[in-house]
Homo-oligomer: A and B are copies of this chain.
Amino acid sequence: MAVGVKDIALAAGVSLGTVSNVLNHPDRVSPRTRARVEQVMTDLGFVPNESARQLRAGRSRTLAYVVLDASNPFFTDVARGIEESVAARDLSLFMCNSDNRADRERNYLKRLEEQRVAGVLLTPVEPESSLLDQISGRGTPIVIVDRTRAGNTHCSVAVDDVLGGRLALEHLLDRGHERIAFVGGPATIGQVRDRHAGALAALADAGLDESHLLRIDTSALSVGEGRQAAQRLAGIPRSRRPTAALCANDLLALGLLQQCVTTGVAVPGDLAIVGYDDIEYAGAAAVPLTSVRQPRLQLGRTAAELLLDEVENPDHTHQQITFTPDLVARESSRRA
């Protein structure tokens, strides 16, 4: 049924080696035989068996991006950046969605290592897992995307989330807010911790203590959780209720915003809102959303470049690159 190089060789009247050369070193084959072999290949519908090739040749033509949350537009933009860089080379990119679950992340990493992919891009659920060291120690390069990791054991590309949190909070202080909610969670997510830390730092610099930043913990960074956060805020007596909310990402902010608009809480009048990521929908929201913008495409492009270098360049050295975010002020945090 399945036609292999052997069949091609037989049908074209050449040896196995020649067929292989047509595939991998066309220059070594005379134009005439090459044409003949290629003709036979299309006639017989030959599809090279990548498993066999990989087994023998060692290399693989595949990269993978294990993404934290495929339904978050931020990550799909990062992925687009990665694809831009990968597309140039003769490689393909597979995406895997860990969906914020450590077991799924582990499972995908295991599978990818078994497949002997050329390299892995990873936005980790568990950045400190020793599994990463094991895998790269065994020869599958891993580049960390949108995170950093203790020890310079891997290449990484990240945006300064502490700075981002700081920018957002400074913006709100500047707008006169002094009772501010930080909406985000779970705290296991590094991005959330860093953004929160940045906000606290800005607060401290302004001479205010931690009590000015009310933490509203969510179980995920999703629109639904944002809506729930709105209800929790609404439950706080007006005198103590925050006048502004800094959300750990735009999905939360959009959910929060939507619920506020629905229940008649004026934005930014009763509650100013700042999001994070500046996804495409942020500007299209009921009240255009102030947000912290990150260079998403460049994040992806750079990560892919680093991985490709690690794959191709024998004297590669690990690099940790950090980009700087900036704040895009819009209606949702306009001065009252």
Chain A interface (Cβ < 8 Å from any Cβ of B): 1-2, 45, 47-52, 54-55, 61-62, 64, 70-71, 73, 76-77, 79-80, 83, 92-97, 99, 107-108, 111, 113-116, 134, 138-139, 223, 254-255, 257-258, 280-281, 283-288
Query: Please, which residues of chain B bring their CB within 8 A of the CB of A286?
Result: 284-288
Give A296 Cβ to nearest chain B Cβ, in Å: 11
A2 and B107 contact, CB distance less than 8 A: no
Closest B residue to A259 by beta carbon equals B284
Residue of B nearest to A255 (CB): B284
CB–CB B94/A64 < 8 A: yes
The closest CB in chain B to the CB of A77 belongs to B71
Give chain B residues whose Cβ lies under 8 Å from the Cβ of A96.
92-95
Which 5 residue pairs across A and B have the least CB separation, nearest first?
A94-B94, A258-B284, A50-B114, A71-B76, A95-B95
Are A55 and B49 in contact, with the CB atoms below 8 A? yes
Q: How far is the CA of A254 from the CA of B283 in the complex (A)?
A: 10
A226 to B71, CA, bound (A): 21
Q: For residue A48, which residues in chain B have a CB less than 8 angstroms away from its CB?
A: 114
User: Does the CB pair A138–B47 fall under 8 Å?
Assistant: yes
Q: A48-B114, A283-B258 are known contacts. Are A1 and B92 too (CB-CB below 8 A)?
A: no
Q: Please state if B280 and A223 are interface contacts (CB–CB under 8 Å).
A: yes
A259: min CB distance to chain B, Å = 9
A249 to chain B, nearest CB (A): 14
Query: With A52-B55, A97-B83 known to touch, is A45 a contact of B258 (CB < 8 Å)?
Result: no
Residues of B near A70 (CB, < 8 A) are 70, 76, 79-80, 95
Q: Which residues of B contact A52 (CB under 8 A)?
A: 51, 55
B2 engages A254 (CB within 8 Å)? no
In the complex, residue of chain B having the shortest beta-carbon distance to the beta carbon of A70: B76
B115 near A50: Cβ-Cβ < 8 Å: yes
Residues of B within 8 A of A139 (CB): 1-2
The answer to whether B97 touches A49, judged by C-beta atoms less than 8 angstroms apart, is: no
Q: Which residues of B contact A223 (CB under 8 A)?
A: 280-281, 284
13 pairs of residues in contact across A and B, judged by CB atoms under 8 Å: A50-B111, A51-B51, A51-B55, A70-B70, A71-B77, A71-B80, A73-B73, A92-B108, A258-B283, A281-B281, A284-B285, A284-B286, A286-B287
Q: Within the complex, what minimum Cβ distance (angstroms) separates A103 from chain B? A: 10
Most buried by B among A108, A258, A281: A281
Q: CB-nearest residue of chain B relative to A93?
A: B96
Q: Are B76 and A116 in contact (CB under 8 A)?
A: no
Q: Are B45 and A134 in contact (CB under 8 A)?
A: yes
A96 to B94, CA, bound (A): 6
Is B95 within 8 A of A51, CB to CB? no
Closest to A115 in B: B50
B contact residues around A93 at 8 Å (CB): 96
Residues of chain B contacted by A287 (CB below 8 angstroms): 286
Contact A113 B47 (CB under 8 A): yes
Q: How far is the CA of A73 from the CA of B76 in the complex (A)?
A: 10
Chain B residues with CB under 8 A of A116: 49-51
Complex Cα gap A255–B64 (Å): 32
